[in-house]
Chains A and B, each alone.
Chain A
Amino acid sequence: MPQMNMVSAIQDGLRLEMAQDERVVVMGEDVGALGGVFRVTAGLQKEFGQERVIDTPLSETGIVGTAIGMALNGLRPVPEIQFGDFIYPAVDQLISEASKYRYRSGGEFACPIVVRVPVGGGIRGGHYHSQSPESMFIHTAGLKVVCPSNPFDAKGLLLAAIRDNDPVLFFEPKRVYRALKTEVPEGDYEVELSSCKIVREGTDVTVLAWGAMLLEALSAAEEVRSKDISAEVIDLRTLWPLDVGVIADSVRKTGRLVVVHEAPKTCGFGSELISLVCEKAFVHLEAPPRRVTGWDTPFPYTLENEYLPLAHRIVPALIETARF
C-alpha cells in the first residue's frame, strides 16, 4: 500500500472521484495552475481541464454561492476556501443558505457541496492563518462538519463527504498536511461519516480530540503512561452529527473526561461535548470534565506555542483529572 501524507491523500481522493463522477468540480482561489497554496489540487487542472478545476475570482461568497447553485443544478462541487480564516465572507451562503435549503424547501432541493477548508495553527500564521472555526458551523443546523487527523481518514472521509447529499464542511488541519505519512489504499474506500474512532484504548480517562490536536493528545497519553495513567483517546473524525454513543460508553468506563481543541475555550465544541457527556453519563463521572483549549484571545503569532493546547498542557490536565 502506498505511503501518503494528508495532502497527497486528499488529492488522491479528489482525483479518484473526479475520474469516476463527472459531476464533481473543484473550484476556488488558486486551485488551478498553482494547485492551491497548499498544493492539494496540484495537477488536477491539467488532468481534468479548466471547466472542472476552476480558478475563481477572489470572493468566498462567490465561490460558495455559485457552488450552491451548481449543486442545485446537478453538479457535485468541491469548493476550496484558501484558509479557514477567510471563510467569513461566505458564511451568509453557508449559514443562511446551504444549511437551510433542504429544510425550507420541504426536501425539494439539496446542496451536496463539500467545502474544503484548511484550518488550525502551528504554521506561524498569526490570527488570520490559524483559526479553527468549527463551532459556528456545528451550531448551524443542517451542516455536517468533518475534521480528519491522518491521511487514511482524510481520503476516506472526503469520498464519503462528496457522496453525501448534505453540505459538508471538510476541515483540513494544516499542521498535519505534511507532518506524517500513513498507508493509504490506492483505490476506492470510505470512512463512514459520523463515526468516531478509539485510537488508543485506556481505562482511566477519556480524551477527545480531532485534527492536529489528536497527535498531541496521543503523545500526552503516551507520556502519562509512566505515571500509571491509562488514557483512552478518541478521534472524533466527524464533529457533527456526532457519534456520541462511543464517547458516552468510553466515559462510562473511565469515569473521566478531557477534551482538547485549538479553538478558544468559550463556546468551543468542548463545551458541547462535556454537556452531552453530562447528559448521558453524569452518574459515571468521577472527576470534573476538563477542557484544554486555545485561550479566549485572538490567535497570536510569536506566542503560538503558548496558545495552542499542545501535549505540554494536556499532560497535567490528564494527571489532575485521573488523580482527582
Chain B
Amino acid sequence: MIYLTPRPEHGPNGEGPGAAGHVMSVLDESGRPDPKTDPQLDLALVKRMYVAMARARSIDQRLTRLQRQGRIGFHVGAEGEEAAIVASAAAMRPQDWLFPCYREVAAALWRGLPLQAYIDNMYGNANDLPLGRQMPDHITGRDVHFASVTAPIGTQITQAVGFSWAGKLRQLDQVTGVYFGDGATSANDFHAGMNFAGVYKTPTVFLLRNNGWAISVPSSNQSACERYADKAIGYGIPAVRCDGNDALAVYKVVDSAVRRAAAGGGPTLVELLTYRLGPHTTSDDPTVYRDKGAVTEAEMRDPIPRLRKYLAGKGAWSEADQQRLDEEVAHDLQQAITRAEEAPAPSIESMFEDVYERVPGHLHEQQAECVAGPRAHKRH
C-alpha cells in the first residue's frame, strides 16, 4: 500500500502522549494558510526557506544528470522532501546541532555549508573535506554543526542522543536534531536511542522523515504501527505528526520541539509525512516496485510550488524572482562543478591519514609501499 497524506486535520500544536490523530498543517495544496494554525512567520524567513528548497531541487536535478553522464559516481536525491529537510533545519538555532541520515544535504547547506564543499564531495576530489574517502553525498560539517554522514541505517540516532545528553550534562543551551527515515525505525538504534532519550530526558528532536519508502519497501509494510509517531508512546516521549510537505507546519512543530527541549522538557518525536518523489538513489529503479500513479498523485503535494504559491499570494515572489533564482543556481552550480572537475584526486598519502590521530608505524610502512608501488591502470 502506498502512503497517502491524510487530509490534514486541524488540531492543537500536537504534542501529547503519542500523536493522537492530528496532522499539523498550515498550507493547503494551493498554498493558502489556515488562519487557525498559521505561525505568521516573518516573510523574509519564509522566502529564505523557499530559496533553499528550490535550490536543493535544482541541485538534485543537476547532480542526477551528472551521474547519468558518468561525471560523478552516485547521488542520493531528496526530491519532494525539501520542506521536511529545510524547514526543520531552519527551526534549529545557530548553537544547535544536526545528526543527519544521508538525504539531508540541504540542511547542511541551510546551515552554511558552502556549495563548493558539497560539490567537491560529490567528486571525491582533493578539496573534499573527507578527501574522497566517502561516497558522494556523505558530507561532514563540523563548522555548521552537522555531524558526518554515515551509511549504516540508524547509527546516528543513538549518537545524537548521546550528543544532546552531553550538552545537558555540560549545561549547554544546545538542542540536537537527528534525521532518519521510516525504514530506520526498524533498526536497533532507533529503539535504543528513543529509550535513552526518554529515560534521561535529553534535549533531542527526533526528525522522522516518513517518505513512504525504504528503497522498495513501503512504510505500510515496514511496521504494523499505522502512525509511526505512536512508537513514541512506548518510550514515554511526546510525538507530533506533521505534513512534511508544508514548510510552515514543519517549521512550527520543530520550532516548538526545540523550544521545549531547550527549556528542559526533553525529547520529541516529530513525524514528517512526506514522499520520496525520485528513486532511492541513482542506483535504484523504482519503476520495478511502485506505481507511476502514486508518484503523480504525490507530485500534487510537492512542497515547492506550494510554498511558492504562498509567497506569491503575499506578493513576495514573482516570475521574475523565480527566473533570477534559477539563473543564479545554474551559475553557482556550473562554477562549483567546473572547479570540482579541475581539482586533482586526493593524494595517495592521504589514504593512510586520519585512521588514527597520528599515523602509526605499520601504516607509515604501508603508505611508503603504496606511494612507491605500481600504480593502478585505471584512472580515478
- Chain A residues with CB under 8 Å of chain B are 29-30, 32-35, 37, 55, 57-59, 61-62, 85-86, 88-89, 124-129, 265-266, 295-298, 300-308, 310, 312-313, 315-316
Contact = CB atoms under 8 A, between A and B. Distances in A.
15 contacts: A33-B216, A55-B221, A57-B222, A58-B183, A86-B152, A89-B152, A297-B352, A298-B355, A302-B125, A302-B132, A302-B133, A302-B345, A303-B132, A305-B378, A313-B374
A296 B362 contact: yes
A55 B217 contact: yes
A144 B42 CA distance: 63
Contact of B134 (A32, A33, A88, A126): A126
B376 interface: yes
Contact of B217 (A29, A297, A304, A308): A29
A305 B355 CA distance: 19
B99 interface: no
Contacts of A86: 152-153
Name the residue among A61, A298, A302 with the largest chain B CB count within 10 angstroms. A302
B152 A128 contact: yes
Given A306-B351, A313-B374, A300 B132 contact: yes
A124 B153 contact: no
Contact of A88 (B124, B131, B152, B351): B152
A63 to B, nearest CB: 10
B73 interface: yes
A121 to B, nearest CB: 12
Q: Taking chain B's interface residues, is the majority helix, strand, or loop, or is none over half, making it mixed?
A: loop
Contacts of B134: 126-127, 301
B348 A57 contact: no
Contacts of A89: 152, 187-188
Given A129-B151, A296-B362, A305-B376, A34 B289 contact: yes
A55 B216 contact: yes
Given A58-B214, A298-B355, A85 B289 contact: no
B351 A312 contact: no
Q: Which 7 A-B pairs have the closest CB atoms?
A: A302-B132, A128-B151, A305-B376, A34-B216, A126-B135, A57-B186, A302-B124
B215 interface: yes
A181 to B, nearest CB: 22
Interface of B: 73-74, 124-125, 131-136, 138, 150-153, 183-184, 186-188, 214-217, 221-223, 283-284, 288-289, 345-346, 348, 351-352, 355, 362-363, 366, 370, 373-378, 380
Contacts of A85: 151-152
B289 A59 contact: no
A33 B374 contact: no
B358 to A, nearest CB: 14
A304 B186 CA distance: 32
A296 B351 CA distance: 10
Contact of B374 (A302, A308, A312): A312
A33 B135 contact: no
Contact of B138 (A34, A61, A126, A315): A126
Given A129-B151, A266-B362, A296-B362, A310 B376 contact: yes
Contacts of B187: 58-59, 89
Contacts of B380: 302-306
Name the residue among A57, A307, A312 with the largest chain B CB count within 10 angstroms. A57
A315 B125 CA distance: 29
B348 A59 contact: no
Contact of B124 (A265, A301, A306): A301
A303 B346 contact: yes
Nearest to A265: B366
B376 A296 contact: no
B217 A124 contact: no
Given A55-B216, A58-B186, A303 B222 contact: no
Contact of A301 (B133, B373, B376): B133
Contacts of A88: 152
B138 to A, nearest CB: 7
Nearest to A312: B374
A312 B125 CA distance: 23
A182 B352 CA distance: 38
A295 to B, nearest CB: 5
A61 B376 CA distance: 38
B135 A128 contact: yes
A287 B122 CA distance: 45
Contacts of A58: 153, 183-184, 186-187, 214, 217, 222
A35 B216 CA distance: 9
